[in-house]
């Protein structure tokens, strides 16, 4: 699967198969998730797909009570907020993603630094919902 051209659609297709992949600049050895077709550091387009473990830690989050229509269609509202977050993957890159499995009505209990793991059935919602990464707190506290 590594011969797919670097693109957002290939990224989304991998994700639907439960695989989180980024692109690695063969010159700078820096990894980007979601993938970038050109390295913003050296401006070369020699990028390779590289698999990510799908584990990381919480850097920043919010519990959103008023979301866009496609999130409202999934049942989220003032009584049922959803959590969006910035996550630092263990390989270094940061991603924006949704977090499930946290109590969004008790956001003060959600801790920065919480260990997270990518949910395998990450393609949530119907056809109208954009491809989205979804993480949950890791059950292995020793991670």
Partner 1 sequence: MTRKRKLGRGVSVVGAGMSPFGLFVDRNSTDLFIEAFQEMLGSVDKGFEPNDIDALYVGNFTNDVFVQQSHWGAILVDALGLTPRPATRTEGACASSALAFREAVFAIASGFYDIVLVGGFEQMSKQSTEQVAEGLALAASPYEREAGFTYPGVFGAIATAYFDRYGATREHLMNVTIKSHENGRLNPKAQHQRSIREIMSSRIEKAASKGESPPDWQDEKEFLGDPKANPAIAWPTHLFDCSPISDGAACLLLVGEELTASFTDTPIHVRGLGQASGRNLHTADDLTSFEATRFASREAYQMADLSPSDIQFAEVHDCFSIAEILHGEDLGFFEPGTGFKAVEEGLTRLDGPKPINTSGGLKCKGHPVGATGAAQLIEVWQQLRGAAGERQVPARDLRFGAAHTMGGTGGTCTFTILERR
Binding site for partner 1 (CB under 8 A): 8, 34, 59-69, 71-72, 78, 81-82, 84-86, 93-98, 104, 107, 112-113, 130-133
Residue with Cβ nearer partner 1 (20 or 85): 85
Residue with Cβ nearer partner 1 (49 or 122): 122
Residue with Cβ nearer partner 1 (62 or 138): 62
Residue 95: strand pairing partners:
87
Q: Which is it for strands 134-137 and 94-99: parallel, antiparallel or unpaired?
A: parallel
Q: Work out how close the CB of 72 gets to partner 1 at its nearest, in angstroms, rounded to a whole number.
A: 7
Q: Which of 86, 46, 80 is nearest to 62 (CA)?
A: 86
Q: Which of 93, 94, 95, 88 is nearest to 29 (CA)?
A: 93
Q: Which of 106, 95, 22, 91 is nearest to 60 (CA)?
A: 95
Q: Work out how close the CB of 119 gets to partner 1 at its nearest, in angstroms, rounded to a whole number.
A: 13
């Amino acid at each position: 699967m590594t011969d797919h051209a670097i693109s957002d659609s290939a990224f989304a297709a991998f994700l639907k198969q439960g695989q989180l992949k980024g692109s690695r600049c063969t010159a700078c050895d820096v990894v980007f998730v979601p993938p970038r077709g050109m390295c913003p550091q050296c401006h070369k387009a020699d990028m390779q797909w590289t698999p990510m473990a799908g584990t990381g830690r919480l850097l920043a989050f919010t519990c959103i009570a008023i979301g866009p229509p496609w999130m409202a269609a999934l049942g989220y509202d003032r009584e049922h907020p959803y959590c969006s977050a910035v996550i630092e993957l263990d390989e270094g890159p940061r991603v924006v993603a949704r977090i499930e499995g946290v109590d969004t009505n008790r956001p003060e209990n959600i801790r920065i630094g919480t260990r997270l793991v990518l949910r395998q059935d990450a393609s949530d919602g119907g056809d109208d919902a954009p491809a989205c990464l979804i993480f949950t707190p890791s059950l292995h506290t020793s991670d």
